[in-house]
Amino acid sequence: MPSVILATMARPFWVIMLAASVYILLRGHNEPGGGFVGGLMAAAAFAMLAFANGVDAARRALYFHPVVLVGAGVLAAIVSGIPGLFTTGSFLTHLWPEVAGIKLGTTILFDIGVYLVVLGGVLCLILRLYEDDDE
């Protein structure tokens, strides 16, 4: 049984860790970080929530099944490579259009895909391990 302190502080730490994972995801173009590290950070947040309050609490906070996250991530990564086929004839050649002075690239969609795949894949493992531990 987890401690009362851990169970009480799990939710605020979960929010902070998810915010940090999104920050790491978004800064990955110009600095260290990106979808992989951000996805691991988000998975750690859900793992902490599952450890503190049980797997059911983590599943309720997740909204989607982890396999759905993996599928959505793979789809996002594939879609991010398609524009390159039409411009340069090469899959995953990323584009950097400028909108209102801000460079937006198709790489962010790829990073979001990696983020979702890592989050879903790690959560499949972690939640399953915690479920076996409860039995």
pLDDT single digits (tens) 96-112: 877 777 677 888 889 99
- Cα separation, 97 vs 52, in Å, equals 44
Task: Kindly tell me the burial class for residue 14, based on how many C-beta atoms sit within 10 Å of its own C-beta (0-12, 13-18, 19 or more).
Answer: buried
Residue 34: what pLDDT? 86
Task: Give the sign of the dihedral formed by CA 35, CA 38, CA 39, CA 40.
Answer: positive
CA angle 63-64-70, nearest 5°?
150
Domain extent, residue 34, equals: 4-134
pLDDT single digits (tens) 2-60: 678 888 888 999 999 999 999 999 887 667 778 899 999 999 999 999 888 888 888 89
Number of domains in the chain: 1
- Cα separation, 1 vs 23, in Å, equals 32
